[in-house]
């Protein structure tokens, strides 16, 4: 396709759930099937996807509905009303309250509540932290992932840093890669841990349960340090520090050494417990309590601490009371 022919393509709208795409078939496509011509014009969509749109009569050529095998000769005006997958749609700003711990022109520190998904994904295409960030700071539209450089699981609460500029994002990513960002978590685990320790075990996708992670020889290196804070009758409150940042790292590592997190539906199933406050805790008992990093502009070392939310504090109080009794 020549440069002049490419200019004939007119995407009239940035894709949305109800997009209209208008384009003109270049004369270089003369004699091609309609689906082939469209696939050449829109390589971001598979031919089978385009064929589905044609079959569903979401494609009009000069105002008429054609079949995939009908030929085009160049110059035809094509209008598409594509049904896009949510992953293909741009994230939209949503007025979702944020608990902002710190903010300047370069970074934003958020205290994320349990239940808030960080980034849109399967089953959670809206109502995420990313959507909230776009509303709070519209300029983040121009930053990859709206400035998000690391994540917390949906049901993990606590501190998370967001970059507000490309320079800050690059700086923070390099700190994470160099393992100089300080991230500490509080966790309540099943079982009584005798002493502090370190887990150095690679983490990768579970070989049979694809929604889970596991310690596997083919995984990426992962290191977690843990220190006992309080021992209860059947549980332990620990402080975990990350040397790496793998998906579900603390949850997987603690489960791998026999101390799964309280409330973790994915990694502590079948763990019998007769203390109601532990048995009924509705999420994994994990809270990002401390975050430390070098400011990407001033180069100052900065740290933030955040006490656990009410549900976590109530769990600790309940276990303490049960311990006394």
- Cβ-based neighbours of 17, under 8 Å, separated by 6 or more: 84, 89
Within a 13 Å sphere around the CA of 101, how many CA atoms are in the beta-carbon half? 19
Computed from CA positions of residues 200, 204, 207, 209, in that sequence, does the dihedral angle turn out positive or negative?
positive
Tokens of 48: 């089978």
Closest residue by Cα to residue 265 from 286, 240, 290 = 286
Active-site residue flag, 153: yes
Catalytic residue among 35, 153, 155, 264: 153
Given a contact cutoff of 8 angstroms between Cβ atoms, the answer to whether 145 and 161 are in contact is no
How far, in Å, CA of 210 to CA of 58, rounded? 34
- Cβ-based neighbours of 324, under 8 Å, separated by 6 or more: none
Which residues have a catalytic role annotated?
153
């Amino acid at each position: 396709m020549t440069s002049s022919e490419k200019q004939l393509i007119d995407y009239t709208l940035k894709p949305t759930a109800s997009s209209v795409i208008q384009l003109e078939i270049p004369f270089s496509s003369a004699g091609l099937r309609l689906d082939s011509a469209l696939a050449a014009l829109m390589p971001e969509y598979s031919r089978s996807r385009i064929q589905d749109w044609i079959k569903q009569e979401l494609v009009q050529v000069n105002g008429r509905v054609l079949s995939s095998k009908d030929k085009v000769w160049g110059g035809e005006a094509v209008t598409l009303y594509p049904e896009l997958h949510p992953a293909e749609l741009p994230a939209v700003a949503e007025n979702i309250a944020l608990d902002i711990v710190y903010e300047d022109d370069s970074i934003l520190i958020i205290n994320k509540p349990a239940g808030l998904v960080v980034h849109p994904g399967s089953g959670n295409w809206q109502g995420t932290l990313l959507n909230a960030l776009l509303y709070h700071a519209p300029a983040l539209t121009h930053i990859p992932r709206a400035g998000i450089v690391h994540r917390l699981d949906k049901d993990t609460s606590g501190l998370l840093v967001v970059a507000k500029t490309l320079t800050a994002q690059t700086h923070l990513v390099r700190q994470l890669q160099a393992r100089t960002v300080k991230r500490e978590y509080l966790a309540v685990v099943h079982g009584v841990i005798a002493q502090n320790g370190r887990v150095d075990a690679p983490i990768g996708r579970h070989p049979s349960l694809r929604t889970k992670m596991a310690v596997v020889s083919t995984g990426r290196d992962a290191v977690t340090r843990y220190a006992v804070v309080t021992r209860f009758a059947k549980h332990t409150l620990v402080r975990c520090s990350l040397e790496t940042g793998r998906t579900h790292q603390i949850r997987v590592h603690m489960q791998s050494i026999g101390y799964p997190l309280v409330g973790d539906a994915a990694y502590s199933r079948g763990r019998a417990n007769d203390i109601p406050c532990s048995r009924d805790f509705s999420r994994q008992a994990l809270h990002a309590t401390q975050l430390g990093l070098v400011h990407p502009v001033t180069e100052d070392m900065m740290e933030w601490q955040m006490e656990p939310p009410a549900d976590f504090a109530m769990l600790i109080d309940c276990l303490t009371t049960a311990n006394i009794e």
